[in-house]
Amino acid sequence: MNMASSTLATAEVSSAKIVVRDLTVRYGSTLALDRVALDVGDRQVTALIGPSGCGKSTFLRCLNRMNDHIRNIRIEGSVSLDGVSIYDAAVDPVELRRRVGMVFQKSNPFPKSIFDNVAFGPRVHGLRDRVELREIVERSLRQAALWDEVKDRLDRSALDLSGGQQQRLCIARALAVEPDVLLMDEPASALDPIATAKIEELIHELKTQYTIVIVTHNMQQAARVSDTTAYFYLGRLVEVGPTEQIFTNPSRPETEDYVTGRFG
Amino acid sequence: MFAATVAATATVLGILLFLLGYLVWQGASALSLDFFTHLPTPVGEAGGGMANALVGSAKLLLVAAVVGVPVGFLGGVYLAEYDGGRVAFAVRYAADVLNGIPSIVIGITVYGLLVVPFGHFSTLAGGIALGLLMIPVALRTTEEFLRLVPDTLRDASLALGAPQWVTVVRVVIPAGMRGILTGLLLSLARVAGETAPLLFTALSNRYWSPGWLQPTASLPVMIFTYAIAPYDDWHHQAWAAALVLLAIVLGANVVARLALGGRSTAQT
């Protein structure tokens, strides 16, 4: 079954940015991911769907090695980015995360000013020049469609922003590091429909420059924003394919049950 | 059951209020500007103050802070951020044991290590004894407040490609800073009233202490000396000193609580 999904994935996506093979993750004795194989297309939006606890967030966090910090975790298999295995001993996870940014479910701005939030990444990576920092902050905020709302109050606390604004600020903060890949873990689940629509619009614009992997519980959202959809269930990748096909004509009955709402 | 809890609460409040009231009643009459600005007068001569003890206590606390704050703070950061399993357990356990060691034991240890070899009592030895006493409290409060900083902030920083130490220094510590400072202030206030370890480290002094390596007066030891002396005048001065000491400790507590009032940085 797993072989089937992996051949399907390679067949459908021609230029893969991220190639995952046989990825197995255990928390202690609990199996969280079971031999998952998936290709993530360059400058495409890949949506990961499935019921809670199916392993999609674990999978996402394997792509930038954010799981490294969890105790008792065992990760096997291979994940490569542009052909380089990211779990290789020679790869520094800190360097990796500069190329693979992440936006979290709950917006998590630092208790600092709007400017300092966006400038955090570039500063950490050694940029000190005020003018250059300014340019990066403005460009990132524009990319995140937040510039017009905050340009007059960049020195105000990020915590004063609304929930939707905070999430777009977190996206801007991730973009300021100029990653190749953007991982999004249910980025709109805590937002109202208008803020959600803004985030989705943003994803559409960002995919011209970035490879995006998004975890979502919202089926319509997956259908709206993604090019490829992968359905996870109980730690396994059940099916992956072009989004339209997954939602209209899935090849596996379990997938159909889930996307039509009969289950999950 | 409810009545018993109310009674216990009332007792706690009652003790504090009684203590405050009694100190004010006994000590207020001896409190004057002279108390804060003059040296103690010779026996039999009325008036005088405890200026040297106030300055002495301040110097002792400064040394204590120099010793206790870095060790307590950095140790707390280690426990909260680099929790190394068995090592962390050992450190935490050691801190709790250290916290339970009677202060006089710390005093005699410092006496043996710093007073006897150098041949005289000193401000430095007294301050180091107080510093050792504040380490466990400073360490555990730093750890507690860093643990209040939500993991989502650590994740955000790590996901931006910040190494762990940068995450700790630029995100976690600033977010918990207000609480940490409060904890350090409270640990300092706690040792401000310690008397036993000072008796054979800083000793006391009727005059201005000539230097860091010489004995110095301090409020707690002055209270002790004056209270057991057979002079009425000294007793009043001891009460006044006790009142001042309590005011300083209470003041630190109140400042700490006020600072913690808007603890939003660590919570949101």
Over its length of 264 residues, how does chain A's per-residue pLDDT go in tens digits? 444 444 444 444 457 999 999 999 999 999 999 999 999 999 999 999 999 889 999 999 999 999 988 888 999 999 999 999 999 999 999 999 999 999 999 999 999 999 999 999 999 999 999 999 999 999 999 999 999 999 999 999 999 999 999 999 999 999 999 999 999 999 998 888 988 998 999 999 999 999 999 999 999 999 999 999 999 999 999 999 999 999 999 999 999 999 888 775
pLDDT tens track for B149-202: 999 999 999 999 999 999 999 999 999 998 999 889 989 998 999 999 999 899
CA A178, CA B177: separation in Å to the nearest integer? 30
Edge to edge, what strands does the sheet with A181-185 contain? A100-103, A181-185, A211-215, A45-49, A228-233, A236-242
The CA angle A104-A108-A109, to the nearest 5 degrees, is 130
- Please tell me the pTM assigned to this model: 0.84
**What is the rounded CA–CA span in Å between residue A61 and residue B176?**
26
Contact call for B155 and A170, based on CB within 8 A: no
Kindly indicate the confidence band of residue B261, based on its pLDDT and cuts at 50, 70 and 90.
low
- Residues of A with CB below 8 A from B169's CB? none
State the Cα–Cα distance between residues A261 and A216, nearest whole angstrom: 15
Total CB pairs under 8 A between chain A and B: 66
Report the largest interatomic distance among the alpha carbons of chain B, rounded to a whole angstrom. Answer: 72
Sequence-separated (6 or more) residues with CB below 8 Å from residue B85: none
User: Best mutation site among B151, B160, B168 for testing chain A: the one with the most A CBs within 10 Å?
Assistant: B160
Q: Is A75 helix (H, G, I), strand (E, B) or coil?
A: strand
Residues A144-170 have pLDDT tens digits of: 999 999 999 999 999 999 999 999 999
- Note whether A111 contacts B162, CB cutoff 8 Å: no
The chain A residue lying nearest B265, using CA atoms, is A111
Sequence-ordered list of residues with C-beta below 8 angstroms from that of A216, at least 6 positions apart, any chain: A47, A48, A49, A186, A188, A189, A222
**Residue A220 · residue A197 · CB < 8 Å:** no
Beta bridge partners of A100: A181
User: What are the helix (H) ranges across chain B?
Assistant: 2-27, 33-37, 51-81, 86-100, 103-110, 123-147, 151-159, 164-167, 173-192, 196-199, 219-228, 232-261, 264-267
Per-residue model confidence as pLDDT tens digits over B44-71: 787 888 999 999 999 999 999 999 999 9
Of A97, A109, A111, the CB nearest to B158: A97
Structure tokens at A119: 């400038």
For residue A121, the chain B residues in CB contact (below 8 A) are 160-162
Chain B residues within an 8 Å CB radius of A177: 160-161
Spans of all domains in chain B: 49-267
CATH number of A2-86+93-259, picked from 3.40.50.300, 3.30.428.10, 3.40.920.10, 3.30.2130.10: 3.40.50.300
Q: Please report residues of B whose CB lies closer than 8 A to that of A172.
A: none
Q: Which CATH architecture group holds B49-267?
A: Orthogonal Bundle (1.10)
CB B173 within 8 Å of CB B167: no
B126 to A70, A264, B194, B245: CA distances (angstroms)? 44, 68, 10, 17
Crossing angle (nearest 10°) for helices B123-147 and B173-192: 140
Query: E strand or H helix at A30, and its extent?
Result: strand A30-41
- Measured between CA atoms, the residue of chain B closest to residue A122 is B160
Q: Do A94 and B268 touch (CB under 8 A)?
A: no
Kindly determine whether residue A111 and residue B265, on different chains, have CB atoms separated by under 8 Å: yes
Q: Cβ contacts (< 8 Å) between B80 and chain A: which residues?
A: none
- Supply the pLDDT for residue A7: 46
Distance from CA of B153 to the nearest CA of A (A): 6
Distance CA A260, CA A242 (A): 16
B/e letters for B147-175, b = 16+ CB within 10 Å, e = fewer, are bebbeebbbbbbbbbbbbebbbebbbbbb
Using an 8 Å CB-CB cutoff, list chain B residues near A97: 158-161
